[in-house]
Amino acid sequence: MKDNTPNYKVMESSKKNTPGPLVIGSVLIIVLLIIFYFILLMYFPELLSEMNVGEDVPGK
C-alpha cells in the first residue's frame, strides 16, 4: 500500500536568520536600561527633575 501524504519537510529549523550574540546582548542591555530608568523615576521622581536641560540664560 502506498502512503498518499505529501512529502513536506515540516518546520525545518535553520540558523540562517538568527541574530548574533552581540546583537542579542545589545538589545537586552538597552531594554534593561530603559526598565532601570523607569524604576529610578518611580522611586526618585525628583532625581532627574533638577537636572540642567539647557534653559536660556540671560546674557551679560
Q: 10-residue block means of pLDDT along the chain (60 residues)?
A: 62 76 96 95 83 73
Q: What angle do CA 21, 38, 23 make, to 5 degrees?
A: 10
Residue 59's pLDDT is: 74
Residue 32's pLDDT is: 98
pTM above 0.85, yes or no: no
Residue 34's pLDDT is: 97
DSSP 8-state code for residue 47: T
Residue 8's pLDDT is: 61
Sequential DSSP letters for 5-28: S----TT---STTPPPHHHHHHHH
